[in-house]
Amino acid sequence: MEKQEHKLANQIALIPSPGLGHLIPFIEFAKLLIANFNLSITLLLPSRAHDQPNEAQISLLASLPNGINYVNLPPIDLSHLSTDDLDVVISLVVLNSVSAIRDSLASLPRVVAVVTDLFGTPVFNVARELGILPYMYFTTNAMNLLFTFNLNKLHETVSCNFCDMVDPVVLPGCVPIYGRDFEDALQDRNSEGYFWIFYHLKRYGLAEGIFINTFMDLEPGAIQTLQTEDPNRPSVYPIGPIVRSSLGSKVYGSNCLTWLDRQPYKSVIFVSFGSGGTLTSNQLHELAIGLEKSEVRFLWVIRRPNDESSFGSYYNNHDQDDIFNFLPKGFAERTKDRGLLVMSWAPQIDVLSHKSTFGFLTHCGWNSILESIVHAVPLIAWPLYAEQKMNAIILNEGLKVALRPKSNEHGIVEADHVTNVIKELMFGEDGKRVRIEINKLSESAKKAISNVGDSTKSLISVATKWTSSKF
């Protein structure tokens, strides 16, 4: 893709909802736009009062290239809320930021388009009123978007809670999805989270188009269905994989890379549950013992356990001490020669692209999945919240690029099973098949974003309209 040159740059406003998992793909999208098109970008950042940015977010915003600016919108006080449901909290933060978003959009010069994520649908009305084209950047996969478009039909035809459905949902070109694997907010029809999912879905039609961070060879059936099934839906543009480039060796957390430099080639399992995922005390204990018994080298981005929530660090992630007193007694000492424990955060893209990294035990966030595919790192799928169970099904049953540990009747993955799945990934026949498949996908991913790739052409088709818009 060659950068286009024009004297006056039109502007795109990008509005990610709160959370590092939303901010990162929007920043990478912004970098892609300014690197290849004559556009300027402003990020409008909603936030919840009392939530403090972590080191990773501060570093990201401080390192934005020329052409990308950001505005911190007034934080929203939700201290009166009695729920910590992510769908509810994020939706209310964005909804209550609409007035500030309107003022910001009105004050910015030459804004031709505004792009939000799936929680930003209230902004579509504002954009239309201001004569600005609204778009959605759906930062997860095409199957999830197709599933969302089919929710109205499910709601009308299924009378029980989705978790009690006997038959799976079968979407064109997709693996079957059982109701128990729907995201948590959909499991209770009377919940606030359920309401907000449908609130946003009703507004999808206001979007001019929907970008998806995926590519044709990864999800051909879902993408083709989205592009042909219903002409009344917004146009869908697969533009991925959009992933972070290397952060370099001077980043916060670079001790990880120094440690990796000393490890043998393809010998390390990377363990991380994303920017917000947390395990219960019992599960963390079982994972630790399983890692120890595997006798495999590991790099573990670890957080204090949380017995109340699997996304306990979603907003705040400030455990920077290295006192691992919540681990099994003696674990850190016994594993110090082959394991590295890092509190809260590591430069993931540098770890995944490192020559010593063999595999990735992941929470199945879509950003992490795409980064693994690009760098051909085989996966152990360990979903925690949001759409991650559905992502795990795609990886394990659809694409065959991940092994998935089984939990017991109490929802705990026991230590012996942790050990077995790690050894299978590294030394077993199933692991060998996973490595073959992810190497194929890695090549397809590179082709998709090449100068002649499908994703590149898809992005160009929209971005050229933005650059040529007249005032």
Q: Give the whole-angstrom CA distance, residue 441 versus residue 162.
A: 32
Q: Give the whole-angstrom CA distance, residue 220 versus residue 93.
A: 35
Angle of helix 20-36 relative to helix 55-62, nearest 10 degrees, comes to: 10
Q: Give the whole-angstrom CA distance, residue 214 versus residue 301.
A: 26
Q: Give the whole-angstrom CA distance, residue 144 versus residue 138.
A: 9
Maximum Cα interatomic distance, the chain, rounded to a whole number of Å: 67
Residues near 107 by beta carbon (within 8 Å), at least 6 away in sequence: none
Q: Which two tokens stand for residue 104?
A: 């910001």
Looking from the CA of 54 toward its CB, the CA atoms found within 13 Å total: 22
Question: Do 214 and 242 form a contact (C-beta atoms < 8 A)?
Answer: no
Contacts 24+ apart (CB under 8 A), 401-407: 401/373, 401/434, 401/437, 401/438, 401/441, 402/378, 402/434, 403/379, 403/430, 403/431, 403/434, 404/380, 405/380
Q: Give the whole-angstrom CA distance, residue 402 versus residue 438.
A: 9
DSSP string, 113-125: EEEE-TT-THHHH
Return the closest-CA partner of residue 271 out of 341, 337, 323.
341
State the catalytic residue, choosing from 87, 117, 181, 184: 117
Q: What's the count of helices (H) and strands (E) in the chain, helices before strands?
A: 18, 13
**8-state DSSP, 447:** H
Beta bridge partners of 361: 271, 380
DSSP string, 80-144: T-----HHHHHHHHHHTTHHHHHHHHHHSTTEEEEEE-TT-THHHHHHHHTT-EEEEEE-S-HHH
Question: Do 251 and 244 form a contact (C-beta atoms < 8 A)?
Answer: no
Return the closest-CA partner of residue 186 out of 158, 167, 214, 226.
158
State the catalytic residue, choosing from 22, 285, 354, 363: 22
Residue type, 244: R
22 is a catalytic site residue: yes
Burial bucket for residue 418 (CB in 10 Å: 0-12, 13-18, 19+): buried
Q: Give the whole-angstrom CA distance, residue 159 versus residue 389.
A: 22
Phi and psi of 217, rounded to 5°? -70, -20
By annotation, the residues acting in catalysis are 22, 117
